[in-house]
Amino acid sequence: MKVSRIFFLIFFILTKTHLFGQLTLEYQSQDFPYYSTSGWFPFKKIGSNWEYRFYYVDSTKFQVYSAPYNGYVQYQYNFTQPEITAGGQIYSLGIDLTGDNIVEFYVISQYTTSSYPRQSIKILNIINNSILLELNSPNYYYSIPAIYDIDNDGTLEMIFVEYDIINAWRYRLIVYNTNVGTTIVQDNPIIGFDLKQNYPNPFNPNTTIEFKIPTNSNVRLEILNANGQLVKTLVNNELNPGIHKVEWNGTDNFNNKVSSGVYFYRLIQNENESSRKMILLK
């Protein structure tokens, strides 16, 4: 009898261990085009928690599904042409500005038709595609928003940098009151691999290049001239996932100052690659 009990106990332990360690398929999405991006992000506030939703982004639109799995497209935003030029860059602000418990977004536009490429920013309510705030002027280049409680009054502020692209690239800080109480603000970018427009642009002598990578791997960030020739390698090593900022001082690989003109910067990580144009003025 003792032997039988011991045998049953061993069998029970081995069976339970096997079940606990076994992975079972829970969900498999439909096929998406290779040039698109999809995944999950915090979308709806339920009490103190965020409900995750499935999203899809391609070169022309951003979609939010009705559920984490097997939902339908509940909300869609179609990119304007300047937003398509910017690469369909839409990001979560990480907070609810309108009181409907739905997170708000900001969208980047890029204008390249004039002598001075510039960037504008739009704060978007995805529920009805209404614009809560838009910073768009032919004379200015706007940074992406930062959100925190500057004056410690318990209310979050939204901060922008406004660069003057006509008058020697002076800049000023602009602060908006969100009227939202202080909470933990999460930075939830929609696109995992992202190369932002450098700032300032045009520049002299320094400019900052910001990019985001989704995984830990080797990354290359290169500066090319208008003929596609390598000018300088700014990054060529393994980086952790997240947001990174690199400054270029207008020199080549031999530390020589380069001439004024149009340059390109290229970010490469595994199969991902993205390039943008910038202008050095002296």
Going by C-alpha positions, the residue among 165, 137, 162, 145 that lies closest to residue 278 is 165
Query: What does the pLDDT read at residue 182?
Result: 74
Which of 13-22, 23-32, 107-116 bottoms out in mean pLDDT, i.e. has the lowest?
13-22
Does position 63 have pLDDT exceeding 90, yes or no? Answer: yes
Distances (CA, A) of 138 to 114, 117, 281: 9, 9, 18
- Label residue 252 left, alpha or beta by phi (over 0 means left) and psi (-120 to 50 means alpha): beta
- In this structure, which amino acid lies at residue 227? N
CATH 2.60.40.4070 residue ranges in the chain?
Answer: 194-280
Q: Dig out the tokens for 162 from the structure.
A: 């406004």
pLDDT score, position 15: 52
- For the cut 60, the answer to whether the pLDDT of residue 3 exceeds it is no
DSSP state, residue 128: T
Percent of the chain with pLDDT strictly greater than 70: 87
Q: Which residue has the tokens 């969100």?
A: 178
Alpha carbon 267 to its chain centroid, in Å, reads 14
Query: pLDDT-derived band of residue 50, with 50, 70 and 90 as boundaries?
Result: confident
Residues in the chain: 282
Spell out the residues 6+ positions from residue 7 whose beta carbon is closer than 8 angstroms to its own: none
In Å, what is the CA distance from 181 to each residue of 97, 100, 186? 10, 14, 14
Amino acid 258: pLDDT: 93
Q: CATH number of the domain at 194-280, out of 3.40.50.300, 2.60.40.4070, 2.60.40.420, 2.60.40.10?
A: 2.60.40.4070
pLDDT (tens digit per residue) in 251-263: 999 999 999 888 8
pLDDT for res 145 = 86
Most confident of 20-34, 180-194, 244-258: 244-258
For the chain, what is the radius of gyration of the CA atoms? Answer: 24
Pairing of strands 90-92, 207-213: unpaired
> Who wins on pLDDT, 46 or 115?
46
- Confidence band for 124, pLDDT divided at 50, 70 and 90: very high
Q: 138-142, 169-173, 181-185, 202-206: lowest mean pLDDT where?
A: 181-185
pLDDT at residue 196 in the model:
82
Q: 264: Cβ–Cβ under 8 A, 6 or more apart, which residues? A: 223, 224, 225, 226, 228, 275, 276, 277, 278
CB distance 203 to 279 below 8 Å: yes
- Distance in angstroms (rounded) separating the CA atoms of residues 151 and 148: 9
H-helix or E-strand spanning residue 246: strand 242-248
C-alpha 28, offset from chain centre: 25
In the three-class reduction of DSSP (H, G, I as helix; E, B as strand; rest coil), residue 237 is classed as strand
Query: How far, in Å, CA of 18 to CA of 94, rounded?
Result: 40
Q: How confident is the model at residue 168 (pLDDT cuts 50, 70, 90)?
A: low
The answer, yes or no, to whether residue 12 has pLDDT greater than 60, is no
pLDDT at 76 over 70: yes
Give me the chain's average pLDDT, please. 84
Q: What is the pLDDT of residue 21?
A: 65
